[in-house]
């Protein structure tokens, strides 16, 4: 999950279920949890240190904070200290990305606050409906949070705006790896929800990496600006 965003598997929490799991599943889940906590920071570094935001979707970053909060509430409903700690650490990364985007791009409050406020209210209501509902809502928010980033890059390419230097490809590669480990975990324990969610996020993460690849953008830019007829070399 993401990431971000970030695409980010803050559902590291799901590993700590009440029943025992096979060793390989435990290892996969723990590794995914560590990667999920760390994968926001390459993007935060690019924003705060590199001061780059080109290609980033503000909507995706707002949703990143929302699904981080969603998984935290899921962890609280599960009464698991491990879930809560991992989700809090992941939430710090998502907040760092959103705040960095707002600071570097100098965005207006009205461009992000209404969505964030409405999302927090919706999560609060979902948390009153039980653990299962909270988990489903958090999972849906995670997938919804990655889609705007994909859509933003596609629109930028179609408009021949080819600068995606603000997008950390390392973040999304870590997200794909993280979800790949969750697919292994879900397959071993037979959890269809984890498998379906992680397959979706892994696919979208790889798509973000491809769309943000400089070579792809250079080709798009070259195709958008054909050589003038007067400068064309005669056959």
Instruction: Return the exposure string of 157-195: e unless at least 16 CB atoms fall within 10 Å of the residue's CB, then b.
Output: beeebbebbbbbbebbbbbbbbbbbbbbbbebbebeebb
pLDDT range class, residue 121, cuts 50, 70, 90: very high
Interstrand relation of 2-3 and 6-7 (parallel, antiparallel or unpaired): antiparallel
pLDDT tens-digit profile of 175-220? 999 999 989 988 988 878 778 888 999 999 999 999 998 765 455 5
* Run of H or E residues at 66: helix 58-77
Of 99-103, 104-108, 194-198, give the lowest mean pLDDT range.
194-198
- Of 96, 141, 143, 149, nearest to 122 by C-alpha is 141
Q: So what's the pLDDT on residue 119?
A: 93
Phi, psi of 212 (to 5 degrees): -95, 5
Q: Is the pLDDT of residue 8 over 50?
A: no
Q: So what's the pLDDT on residue 229?
A: 53
Q: So what's the pLDDT on residue 16?
A: 43
> Count of CB atoms within 10 A of residue 196's CB?
14
Burial of 35 (0-12, 13-18, 19+ CB in 10 A): buried
Q: So what's the pLDDT on residue 18?
A: 42
Assigned token pair, 204: 């979208």
pLDDT range class, residue 6, cuts 50, 70, 90: very low
pLDDT range class, residue 122, cuts 50, 70, 90: very high
Q: Is the pLDDT of residue 173 over 90?
A: yes
pLDDT tens-digit profile of 30-70? 888 889 889 999 999 999 999 999 999 999 999 999 988 99
Assigned token pair, 209: 């990496």
Q: Is the pLDDT of residue 11 over 80?
A: no
End-to-end CA distance of the chain: 51
């Amino acid at each position: 999950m993401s990431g971000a965003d970030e695409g980010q598997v803050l559902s590291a929490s799901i590993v700590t279920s009440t029943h025992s799991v096979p060793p390989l599943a435990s290892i996969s889940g723990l590794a995914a949890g560590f990667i999920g906590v760390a994968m926001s920071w390459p993007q935060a570094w690019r924003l705060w240190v590199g001061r780059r935001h080109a290609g980033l979707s503000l909507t995706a970053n707002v949703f990143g904070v929302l699904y981080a909060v969603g998984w935290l509430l899921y962890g609280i409903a599960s009464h698991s200290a491990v879930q809560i700690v991992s989700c809090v650490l992941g939430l710090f990364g998502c907040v760092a990305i959103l705040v960095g985007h707002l600071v570097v791009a100098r965005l207006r409050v009205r461009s992000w606050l209404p969505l964030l406020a409405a999302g927090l209210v919706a999560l609060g209501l979902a948390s009153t409906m039980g653990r299962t509902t909270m988990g489903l809502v958090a999972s849906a928010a995670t997938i919804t949070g990655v889609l705007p980033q994909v859509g933003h890059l596609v629109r930028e390419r179609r408009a021949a705006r080819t600068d995606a230097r603000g997008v950390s490809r390392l973040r999304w590669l870590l997200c794909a790896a993280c979800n790949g480990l969750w697919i292994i975990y879900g397959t071993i324990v037979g959890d269809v929800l984890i498998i379906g969610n992680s397959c979706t996020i892994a696919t979208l993460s790889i798509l973000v990496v491809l769309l943000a690849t400089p070579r792809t953008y250079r080709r798009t830019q070259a195709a958008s600006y054909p050589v003038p007829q007067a400068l064309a070399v005669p056959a």
